Amino acid sequence: MNGWYGRCLRVNLTEGRHKVEKLDGDLLKNFLGGRGLGVKVCFDEVSPQADPLSPDNKLIFSSGPMVGTGAVTGASCNVVTRSALTGTLACAKMRGHFGAEMKFAGFDMIIIEGKAETPVILSIMDDKIRLIPALEYWGRSTSETEDKFKESLSDQWSARETFLATIGPAGENLLPLANIVNDRFLSVGGAGIGAVMGSKNLKAVAVKGQHSLKVADGNRFVQVVNTMINKLNSVPLTSQSMPQWGSAFLVGLCYQKGILPGNNFQKTSVSLRNIGTEALEGAFALRSRGCFSCPIACIKKTDIKHHAYEGKGMIPTYLAIGSLGTNCGVSDLSIIGMANMLCAEMGLDPVATGGLLATAMELVEKKIATTEELKIDIRFGNGNGMMDALRLISTKKGHAKRLGQGGKALAESLESPDLFMGVKGMPLSPFDPRALQGMGLHFATCNYGSHHLYAYTFIDELLNVNENLDPSEIKGKPGLVKLYQDTTAAMDSLGLCCWPLLGLKFKNFVPLVNSCLGTNYSAEDLLFIGERVWNLERLFNMKAGFDKSHDVLPHRFTEEPISDGNGEEKISRVNEMLPEYYYLRGWNEQGEPMKETLKALGLEDT
């Protein structure tokens, strides 16, 4: 088989058994792999009514067919499950080297079922599949777990080739905010997944292998990769901005357009002096680190000068700077960097945690809760209080238990649900939807809650890469949102990262896919598969009880105009765009996919 290895590992933790299954040709043709295949398995096997933290839920690691073949940015492994935070499906993107190593170990997909009695580590090393008792790892941070596991291996050479995906104390404590960490790098969009892994008593998955992946037409494939690298090098965004600062280059741009949120989306004018790219260069020693076969290398490593975090630093991305920084009123990069670091060590998701902290801070500001009541000095702009809160939340110590259940639960328990800025329980990524209309519509309709990860509309709305669109206009936005949602679903299913779309067009990837897999897809075919995945996710969520009433933004965005900054007076017009979006999707007015739509997509049996 080309691209795919063609095998899937199914591990039942309750019985301590595993079996290797062959992956079916038609399934791969219709869903490609990665996110698509993960969603399909989840849809078929996981009950949308069962508690996400029960043994009935399944955890699926799924690498796309392009992962590990040397395709440009072919590195992402998707983790699909039913989220403990939102109750919808959850799909995290794990970058780094785990996904590729999983393919070299001979598996496109690992399905984890049931629940182990005591903590275990699933180890897949050179075709030996074992469940290793992990009591001594329980309670340890993610980097300690990784180091300790590598030390336990027979020789330093196999340790160098082993990659781990692990949870921290947050996941063990079943916090809905918990995320998965691999290669010391937080997965993106993983809120709610760490807890599922923790509920299965699975501390980590370790992979290593030496199988070969086949490429259909090697010569052509190498040529296509050469062209793509040259093309990425000719575009300033992917040859300068991203390699130099990572996604943090967006901070300045978003500030200018009034998109960078401050104080739980109450304002957009924050001081750039302390958090812009210049400050970033001043605060950290930037060193690039690349995911598997990525010529851009946007991840930035550093040495944080702190005795506890020596050599562990990962420079905050745009997401971390927005969520843990400006949105909490904090504009000290060293605090933001440490908070991000702490999230990675404890296995917390920065977006979900940042959203929770911002909600708590506004509750305190509005005098609905008091700092005495929460027992943590949590106020906008108080960086030290934020760090204390992070430490307490992840270990479930002290009075932080109330915070640990997420921003939505906290706001509802204090009868102020309107102060939680999120959709379907997931806090908003740091893009103010009032000044970025398309992203607002995506936030409202996204199957995973409001995360920008599943539609990079800012590529056209903000950066104007393919089209010159006005971020505050709504004309054409529903079409744009649908296009990007489908594109992202297709890219995720192939196992490709979406950041190169800053420099390449989606159609540039088509020859890469065809020469690698030996298929004959057109760009439309791939987008159609993306649409199929999106609709299947929607069907799962509908069964789990989500409908049109959940496709809304918090009142703040549709009723309160932005109070200051360059986006002043703007308001989200998401409700005007929604009917057109449903129409373009082939859904009825209630947001349900119509029979004809499902039939065209080949989903009529579901």
Q: Which residues bind other proteins (CB under 8 A)?
A: 2, 68-70, 97, 100, 104, 157-158, 160, 210-218, 221-222, 225-226, 229, 232-233, 243, 288-297, 301, 311
Residue 112 or 291: which CB sits closer to other proteins? Answer: 291
The angle at the Cα of 399, spanning 394 to 403, to the nearest 5 degrees, equals 55
Which CA distances in Å does 595 have to 99, 533, 537, 586, 600?
A: 36, 16, 16, 9, 9
Least distance (Å) between residue 213 CB and other proteins: 5
In degrees rounded to 5, what are phi and psi of residue 289? -140, 130
Least distance (Å) between residue 38 CB and other proteins: 22
Least distance (Å) between residue 495 CB and other proteins: 13
Residue 48 or 70: which CB sits closer to other proteins? Answer: 70
Least distance (Å) between residue 229 CB and other proteins: 6
User: What strands lie across the sheet with 59-63, from one edge to the other?
Assistant: 17-22, 7-12, 109-113, 59-63, 77-82, 89-94
Least distance (Å) between residue 148 CB and other proteins: 17
The Cα 189–Cα 448 span in angstroms is: 9
The Cα 160–Cα 275 span in angstroms is: 35
Return the DSSP state at 428.
P
Place of tokens 């196992």: 495
Least distance (Å) between residue 352 CB and other proteins: 27
Least distance (Å) between residue 132 CB and other proteins: 21
Residue length of the chain? 606
205 forms beta bridges with 122, 165
Residue 104 or 249: which CB sits closer to other proteins? Answer: 104
> Residue 230: CB partners within 8 Å, gap ≥ 6?
none
Q: DSSP string spanning 176-207?
A: TTB--EETTEEPBT-TTHHHHHHHTTEEEEEE
Residue 119 or 316: which CB sits closer to other proteins? Answer: 316
Residue 212 or 468: which CB sits closer to other proteins? Answer: 212
Residue 124 or 435: which CB sits closer to other proteins? Answer: 124
Residue 243 or 440: which CB sits closer to other proteins? Answer: 243
Q: DSSP string spanning 485-541?
A: HHHHHHHHHHTB-SGGGGTS-GGGHHHHHHHHHT----HHHHHHHHHHHHHHHHHHH
Residue 228 or 489: which CB sits closer to other proteins? Answer: 228
Least distance (Å) between residue 163 CB and other proteins: 11
Residue 302 or 572: which CB sits closer to other proteins? Answer: 302
Residue 30 or 233: which CB sits closer to other proteins? Answer: 233
The Cα 436–Cα 459 span in angstroms is: 11
Least distance (Å) between residue 501 CB and other proteins: 17
The Cα 372–Cα 96 span in angstroms is: 42
What sign for the dihedral angle of Cα 492, 495, 497, 498?
negative
Place of tokens 């990524």: 429
Least distance (Å) between residue 303 CB and other proteins: 8
